Amino acid sequence: MIVARVTGASAPGAAEPVFDFLSQAEAAELSAYLENRDWPAGSVLFQENESVGPLGFLEQGRLVVKKKVPEFPGKYVIVAVLERGAMVGESAVADLGNHASTVVAMEDCRLLILSTEKLDLLLADNPRLGIKLLRRVVSTLTRRLRMAGERLTKLL
């Protein structure tokens, strides 16, 4: 059952639980809208410039986020390495355009997936929980934008 995995305590030194910002009751409610999806190591979850897909929460494994380097065809710059508890595909919530990066499974991965349709249903069924989730998405986007700005400043 998804609830046990998203609310269970982490082992010492382990990454935070996937939904550490929710109470156990809220995580149980959210689990009805999620589906498990596994990707073997080396699988591409999202491809840069492809249409945006679902929002995912990394439950197991590690993902690498990378961007193409236009000046060097076939070459990429690693933007981030995501570990358990990380959100991926958050642009699905804010923008229905294309993915800005390519995301690849560094090792076998399991994600809890919230499709756009299920997110819409969650917002209609339980606006309070939906808004709490959206606030976490905005917080994640803000943190990542701030980090990107800091990196850019160091380069200039």
Q: Please report, to the nearest 10 degrees, the dihedral formed by the alpha carbons of residues 38, 42, 45, 46 taken in order.
A: 180
For 149, counting Cβ atoms within 10 Å of its Cβ (0-12 exposed, 13-18 middle, 19+ buried), the class is: exposed
Of the candidates 98, 101, 75, the one whose C-alpha atom is nearest the C-alpha of residue 88 is 101
Confidence check: pLDDT of 27 > 70: yes
Q: What is the C-alpha radius of gyration for the chain, rounded to an integer number of angstroms?
A: 16
- N-to-C CA span, the chain: 48
98 and 47 Cβ atoms separated by less than 8 Å: no
Cα-flanking dihedrals φ and ψ of residue 155, to 5°?
Answer: -80, -25
Place of tokens 């991926």: 88
Q: HSE, CB side, 13 Å, CA atoms: give it for residue 129.
A: 22
- Tokens, residue 27: 């995580």
pTM: 0.80
Domain extents in the chain: 36-155
Burial label, 18 (beta-carbon count in 10 A; 0-12, 13-18, 19+): buried
Q: Give the CATH fold of the 36-155 domain.
A: Jelly Rolls (2.60.120)
Average pLDDT value for the chain? 84
pLDDT at residue 71, as a whole number = 87
pLDDT category, 7, cuts 50, 70, 90? very low
Tell me the percentage of the chain whose pLDDT exceeds 70: 88
